[in-house]
Structure 1
Amino acid sequence: MEPKAVVKEKFFIVIRGKSRKGFCRGCIGRVEAETQRGELMGLLYCGGSNAGSPKSGGIVRREDTYPLTRHQAQLLLFVSPASKRLELLCNPQLFSAICELSPDDLVVVRHKKGHLPGLVKNLMQIGRKEGKDDLHMLGFEVEFVDSDHNLSSKKPAPLPLFSAADIVQVVPSYSVPSGLHWKDGQYGSINRKAVTRINSMPAIGSRARQVRESHTEQSTTRSQSPLEVGSTVEVVSNSGITVYGVVQWLGVPEGKAAEWAGIELDYEVSGCSDGKYGSQRYFTCKGNRALFVPVTKCSPDGRFASTSAGKEAPKPTETPPVPPFEDSEEDAPPIPESEALSLLEGRMKGIQGHINSCYLDAALFSLFSSSVTLDNICQKPADTEQPITCTLRKIVNRLRRQGFVPAESVMNFRKQLGCDTFRTEEKDPEEFITVLFQKVLCMEPLLRLRSRRETSQGAYTFQIFLEKEQMGQMPTVQQLLDTSCLSGDLKFEEMPSCLMVQMPRFGNKYKMFSHIIPSTELDLTDLLYNSPRECFICGHLAEYECLQCLTDRKLQPGSIKQFCTTCNTQVHSHPLRQDHSPKALTVPADSGTPVLRHMMQLFAVLCIHTSHYVSFVKYGPDPHSWLFFDSMADRCGDDQHGYNIPEIRACPELGDFLSQPEEELARANPSHAPELVRRLLCDSYMFLYQNPAKPLSKPNHQES
């Protein structure tokens, strides 16, 4: 194995895979050479006081790493433990903003007192750099934006030092702030401290100074939009600091004459309340997050796409205006195949993503854009329906009628879910789907599973559990489901209306198989409890099932093996199968042949890559009727003031690929497949199947 020399300096972080020759998940290395097989030979940077000094390295697969610049590597090297480095990479927009921080930029950091805003004062080099291969660790000195500091001491206390993982938000600051306050009240201030720059990196140039004038001009020309509870807004203080939040209350507070807004901020600000103003409570939230200001101080959140006339924003491309939406009395049906492309294809289509919402955007689009099975679970609610269900219904109707849902609608839905992490952090789709069906739609579990102990359990999604050695290199979903059910001795009590199968992987951090072939139809006949089945050999009524035969290559590996009495005896008379333990099946008294097959149809696939979720959706019966949806395909403007541009693309090439016989698919080389097909095979996270003959029943309109 001859290594190829590497000319350009490269750094990387290991994001997945088992520990191999010194490398493990979260460790940082430097590429020294590449092998002929495409693997990386590198130096590993150790932890502790010698974190910047490389030790003996090893070999790691390129696909198990993520490339880093020197600056990124030094920032991540100061983050401990290593798992926090991967968590930070899961939020690429935040990490990118952290990498560009300059003196006097405003950030929100994790602190023992909670989340506190502060000013970046210095980028510190930590550790000694003795050799050319050494790295400094980089941390941030932060001066808190807080009114509680006592400055009576003649000698200022050292500023606290934070790693990149301690920063939870980068807030745009348009001037060197002198206080966070409004004319009608004091909500926190900055006490200035003398700061000595010690062993620091050169200042890159603050973005605050670059955009100060442009912000002043924009804030005077921004048109006012009517506010309502649930609107996402931004408020700019007299000193220029911008804070963001959601309107929770509108009205005239005691002692005031004009209308005010009660806003729940995205993060804590010293001096704010938990929903009280004066002695009166207007709403309830976490402490130091409730801000009360006149409505004239509020503007629509500039991070979202604006449709207000006259507002000019930096745009890399022209995007169409978002038309107003008025919900009608009738619920919109699923988008028919004949209208799907004209309504959905293009930019600014689908559901607009914002702040790690891709898991939710992809799931909602997959479930409700075209699925016939899920059609009647979002019908016109009764008067006693929960407000959150009404919000979901409006999202679905807007998607089906206009083909576009703005980010503010989905952010309001996340807010109503009642869990902070659903609003501010990325979640797994299965967590959201469970909450959606159980708490929002108040539905019974979609699946009823019976275990080997004859106990029944409910579930909303099905997680594949198996050993990698049980399968080939590129399995189908059918093979994975069959093997998982037989290994765990699980059966479906009845044919489900909707089956969501989660692949053997854990987000972006680990996946068992590099590629998985979608099964366009899923046969559940042999997985139904107490249901008649055919003998694998002769087609007569099956009476035995054998788990050990599952991987026998002479018996078509991956297919469930059940036999009649005669075939069971013959198959297990082979010397290599005499130690098998066939299990007797319960045969219904009225069983007959041929056995009716119970099939489900694939209608969507959720995929994940670098912690970003996208989806493929089948919008009609034609094999080529596939769409690819990305809620954050592009971006207009910067991280603070821009907005994401969702995009939907037709993907008929996926139909061409899946129309091939299964034998050809098993021999296919994924690297030769079209881009989107390759992405589905490599990044599949959850496959969604429906039974069109058995639509889901209407939800039970009761409080959960």
Structure 2
Amino acid sequence: MEPQTVVGEKFFIVIRGKSRKGFSRGCIGRAEAETQRGELTGPLYGGGPAGAGAPKSGGAVRREDTYPLTRHQAQLLLFVANSSKRLELLCNPQLFSAICELSRDDLVLVRHKKGHVPGLVKNLMQVGRKDSQADLLMLGFEVEFVEDGQNLSSKKPAPLPVFSAADIVQVVPSHNVPLGVHWRDGKSEGLNRKAVTRIHSMPSIGSRARKAAESRVIQHPRLDEVRERLEVGSMVEVESNTGIIVYGVIRWMGVPRGKTDQWAGIELDYEVNGCSDGKYGGQRLFTCRGNRALFVPVTKCSADSRFPCSSTDTEPLRAPETPPVLPFEDSDRDAPPVPESEATSLLVGRMKGIQGHINSCYLDAALFSLFGSSVTVDAICQKPADTERPLTCTLRTIINRLRRHGFVPAECVMNFRRQLGCDSFRTDEKDPEEFITVLFQKVLCIEPLLKLRSEGETSQGTYTLQIFLEKEQIGQMPTVQQLLDASCLTGNLKFEAVPSCLIVQMPRFGNKYKMFSHIIPSTELDITDLLYNSPRECFVCGRLAEFECVQCLPDQRLQPGRIKQYCTTCNTQVHTHPSRGSHAARALAAPADAAAVAPVSRQALQLFAVLCIHTSHYVSFVKYGSDPHSWLFFDSMADRCGDDQTGYNIPEIRACPEVGDFLCRREEGPARADPLQAPELVRRLLCDSYMFLYQNPATPLSRPDPGEP
């Protein structure tokens, strides 16, 4: 029998893996021992009213497939009967932390069969029968609804309904509620209450002191000044017709069809009946989950009052605290890429991805692009960590945090920047290509990704490929394929071999100059005609090509933007045309044993990520699976809580299937489409693209084993 190590009382929830030895995703357990293989063993608890918190069975689960919980957190989650709802709540650390710290008379918004209803927390209830000391009793909240015409101090006679943590969709702490706030709506009759057994109620939840701020009104800037500052990404609140305030983030701003004034499309923090998934008037303006898109005039929006931005009081407001991050316990085993089926539940949401700090967006976006879901670059993490290289170990910790918990706190990235050893990497904004070169060369010890051969037959290695060409050589809205072909043909550059990873940098410089206003992403990049000493097909007849012509590249009669390569016969015929008489075709290098007539095997790379820049801020789009619509948008600094000195950045990951919708069209279609009519994230992809990342799954990256010369 395998020896076990006894551990103290540790609760956990299973976040990854299939059902195994009694455990499955969303189950809650208590670790009683840990095996030498790193598995936690102990009882599994039933949830919901029927489970009553009694242990049901025992089992074993890998430590890296679990997320640690305190007893209080475990008891709150145990009362949530649906395991998927538990994981959904856990994926919103800000909301879950606020629920765990609720105090008496805190204002909350709870799910009700008639919608979302405001109420006051009155008691924390222990649910179930305590048969033994080992039982894990469930916890729920006794909530008093706020009725029409009543203020926050009103009372209602008992009994009060009991709600689980998953029923709470919004928390407004007592000391942040301005005086004079009145809620309308919120009828409580007809609530389908759970059949529970109350052991006792706690008269006060938590120990939060009532401050002087509770007796004064928080002064906000004038509403018209606030609205002038609202933009896409702003956190706002809107008061509904029934008096309930809803919160969300602006995802779109503009003038809808049939309107004359400015409107805002808001992605709400929770579902509300009657809302859409981002469509308005039959037109898709952005994409989000169903029943979360609200469209209102901008004049109806106000800055989110949960994060007050100014006060006229002499006593300063309490500095915001960074949301608590449970300790991360590293493992000898590296976390694999997140499966496509689990990516959205693990990664999508606020406080997801890599948290930005002090101009780190160039690094955050590059790391998420490379390791967020890529299979090719995953090979660099397959080998044992080199303990003599702290940089490698720190990078592995970042990747494992991202893949196991979906969130990397800012201190991890700052530690990585400090270890890079360069002051500019620690504090200043850098270019992604500079960081990527250092990452592959110094941290991962990988040979240059590309070997390029120039006209002088010299070979040079590089990690990224910069596009250089004249604007007149190509159309106004080129594809990445056209840009790559034109650039390599103009510079007479060839790939010595098919690269495992190709990072293409667009013809733009920072946020001040870009050669093309829009660039169409090519989901596949065919480099067959850019390989050195490789057989190529004649552009006209398909026989073995022996010449290529740079001057034919923009020819409107010969598919402009396509590489023109010819056999000897076609080269002569094409260049007898008077308009091509001055062209100078150059001979191609081809294998001596190449057949004159034989099919050429095409070599194509697949797009897996795009880095974008706008006003010096980097974000990224990443493909997380094989489905054409499996795209994520990541912003390490999507929002901020608090000021520059005491606050913290809020990273966010959004699913963006609309990007897949756009890329699924034939390239000629998107090129003719008006980018201004595309959804917000598609416009951002077309206008702000900076680097396109392609991979060849057949030839994964590799690096030397630790200790190899």
- TM category (shorter chain) comes to 0.5 to 0.7
**Cα distance, 1:465 vs structure 2:** 0.6
Q: How does 1:419-568 map to 2 (within 5 A)?
A: 419-568=422-571
C-alpha separation between the residues in 2 aligned to 1:631 and 1:368? Answer: 15
Does the aligned pair in 2 maintain the 1:476–1:518 contact within 8 Å? Answer: yes
Residue 669 (1) aligns with residue 671 (2): no
Offset at residue 378 of structure 1 (A): 2.1
Match of 1:656 among 657, 661, 675: 661
- Farther off after superposition, 408-417 or 577-586: 577-586
TM-score normalised according to structure 2 size: 0.54
1:633 paired residue among 615, 620, 638:
638
Note the C-alpha offset of 1:579: 1.1
Structure 1 residue matching 2:541: 3-state secondary structure: coil
Determine the C-alpha separation between the residues in 2 that align with 1:320 and 1:627: 23
Residue 496 of structure 1, CA deviation: 0.2
Is the counterpart of residue 613 in structure 1 residue 618 in structure 2?
Answer: yes
CA distance in 2, matches of 1:682, 1:383: 41
CA distance in 2, matches of 1:313, 1:521: 52
Cα distance, 1:542–1:313 mapped onto 2, change above 3 Å = farther
Name structure 2 gaps, 5 residues minimum. Answer: 1-211, 214-316
Residue 323 of structure 1 deviates from its aligned partner by 2.4
Does structure 2 conserve the Cα–Cα contact (< 8 Å) formed by 1:464 and 1:481? yes
Does the C-alpha gap of structure 1 residues 313 and 406 become closer, same or farther in structure 2, counting only changes over 3 Å?
farther
Q: Contact between 1:442 and 1:703, CA under 8 Å: does it hold in 2?
A: no
- Residue of structure 2 equivalent to 1:646: 651
Conserved? CA contact 2:631–2:657, under 8 Å = yes
SS of 1:554's equivalent?
coil
- Name the CA shift for 1:646/1:576 in 2 (closer, same or farther; >3 Å): same
The amino acid of 1:570's aligned partner reads Q
Q: Distance in 1 between matches of 2:318 and 2:622?
A: 33
1-side partners of 2:663 and 2:683: how far apart? 12
For residues 201-225 of structure 1, the C-alpha deviation after alignment (integer angstroms, 9 at most, x for no partner) is xxxxxxxxxxxx99xxxxxxxxxxx
Looking at structure 2, the residues matched to 539 and 554 of structure 1 have their Cα atoms a distance apart, in angstroms, of 18
Report SS of the residue matched to 2:483.
Answer: helix
Instruction: Say whether 1:687 aligns with 2:692.
Output: yes
Pairing 1:153-552 to 2, within 5 Å after superposition? 321-383=324-386, 385-552=388-555
Are residues 382 and 408 of structure 1, via their aligned partners in 2, closer, same or farther at CA, if it must alter by over 3 Å?
closer
Residue 628 of structure 2 is matched in structure 1 by 623
Q: Cα offset for 1:643?
A: 0.1
- Closer, same or farther in 2 for the Cα pair 1:578/1:505, shift >3 Å? same
Q: Distance in 2 between matches of 1:347 and 1:702?
A: 41
Gaps of at least 5 residues in structure 1 are: 1-212, 215-311
Question: Are 2:596 and 1:596 equivalent residues in the alignment?
Answer: no
Q: Please state whether the residue corresponding to 2:553 is helix, strand or coil.
A: helix
One-letter code aligned to 2:575:
H
**Following the alignment from structure 2 to structure 1, what is the Cα–Cα distance between the partners of residues 412 and 383?**
18
Aligned residues: 393
Q: Which amino acid aligns with 2:629?
A: H
Deviates more, 1:383-392 or 1:544-553: 383-392
Amino acid at match of 1:434: T
Alignment-mate amino acid for residue 661 of structure 1 = R
* SS of 1:548 mapped into structure 2: coil
**Conserved? CA contact 2:383–2:705, under 8 Å:** no
Shift of 1:339: 0.8
Q: How far apart, CA to CA, are the structure 2 residues paired with 1:390 and 1:609?
A: 32
CA distance in 2, matches of 1:402, 1:698: 26
Deviation at 1:700, TM superposition (A): 5.0
Contact 2:537–2:566 (Cα < 8 Å) also in 1: yes
Q: Is the 8 A contact 1:313 1:637 kept in 2?
A: no
Instruction: Report the Cα distance in structure 1 between the residues aligned to 2:400 and 2:539, rounded to whole angstroms.
Output: 47
Q: Distance in 2 between matches of 1:609 and 1:370?
A: 24
Deviations 1:642-694 (A, max 9, x none): 00000000000000001111111121110000000000100000000000111
Q: What does the per-residue CA deviation read over 1:207-249, in whole Å, with 9 as the maximum and x for residues that have no partner?
A: xxxxxx99xxxxxxxxxxxxxxxxxxxxxxxxxxxxxxxxxxx
CA contact (8 A) 1:386 1:703 kept: no
Shift of 1:590: 2.8
Q: 1:231-289 deviations in whole A, cap 9, x for unaligned?
A: xxxxxxxxxxxxxxxxxxxxxxxxxxxxxxxxxxxxxxxxxxxxxxxxxxxxxxxxxxx
Q: Please report how far the alpha carbon of residue 384 of structure 1 lies from its aligned counterpart in structure 2 after TM superposition.
A: 5.2
| Larger mean Cα displacement after TM superposition, 515-524 or 319-328 | 319-328
Deviation at 1:522, TM superposition (A): 0.2
CA distance in 1, matches of 2:318, 2:610: 35
1:578 and 2:581 correspond: yes
Residue 397 of structure 1 and its aligned partner are, at CA, apart by 0.7
Secondary structure of the residue aligned to 1:439 is helix
Deviation at 1:510, TM superposition (A): 1.0
- Confirm or deny: 8 A CA contact 2:385 2:392 kept in the other structure: no
Find the aligned partners of 2:386 and 2:601 in 1 and give their Cα distance.
43
Return the letter of the residue paired with 1:480.
L
| CA–CA separation in structure 1 for the residues paired with 2:503 and 2:649 | 28
1:314 to partner: Cα distance: 5.2
**1:380 positional shift:** 4.5
CA contact (8 A) 1:330 1:380 kept: no
Secondary structure of 1:539's partner?
A: coil
Quote the Cα distance in structure 1 between the aligned partners of 2:396 and 2:668.
43
TM-score by length of 1: 0.55
Name the SS for the 1:427 alignment partner.
coil
Give, as a single letter, the amino acid of the residue that structure 2 aligns with 1:632. Answer: M
Please state whether the residue corresponding to 2:638 is helix, strand or coil.
strand
Contact preservation (8 Å) 2:376, 2:701: yes
Check whether the contact 2:547–2:588 (CA below 8 A) recurs between aligned residues.
yes
User: Residues 379 and 353 from structure 1, CA distance in 2 versus in 1: closer, same or farther, beyond 3 angstroms?
Assistant: same
**Structure 1 moving runs of 4+ over 3 Å:** 312-315, 318-321, 379-385, 699-704
SS in structure 2 of the partner of residue 390 of structure 1: helix
Secondary structure of the equivalent of 2:477? Answer: coil
Cα distance per residue 1:61-103 (max 9 Å; x no partner): xxxxxxxxxxxxxxxxxxxxxxxxxxxxxxxxxxxxxxxxxxx
Write the distance in 1 (CA, Å) between the matches of 2:535 and 2:393. Answer: 43
Q: Distance in 2 between matches of 1:425 and 1:610?
A: 15
**Aligned match of 1:209:** none
Q: CA-atom RMSD, angstroms?
A: 1.8
Alpha-carbon contact 1:381-1:390 (below 8 Å) kept: no
Counterpart CA distance in 2 for 1:384 and 1:358 is 28
Equivalent residue, structure 1, for 2:120: none
- Listed one character per residue, the Cα deviations across residues 533-564 of structure 1 (whole Å, up to 9, x for unaligned) are 11111111111111110010110111100011
Once residues 609 and 704 of structure 2 are traced to their aligned partners in structure 1, the CA distance between those partners, rounded to angstroms, is 22
Give the whole-Å Cα distance in 2 for the aligned partners of 1:375 and 1:670: 34
**Offset of residue 587 of structure 1:** 2.1
How far apart, in 1, do the equivalents of 2:638 and 2:508 lie? Answer: 24
Residue in 2 that maps onto 1:47: none
- Is 1:415–1:423's contact at 8 Å kept on the other side of the alignment? yes
Tell me: CA distance 1:626–1:313, structure 2 relative to 1, closer, same or farther (3 Å).
Answer: farther
The separation in 1 between residues aligned to 2:581 and 2:707, in whole angstroms, is 55
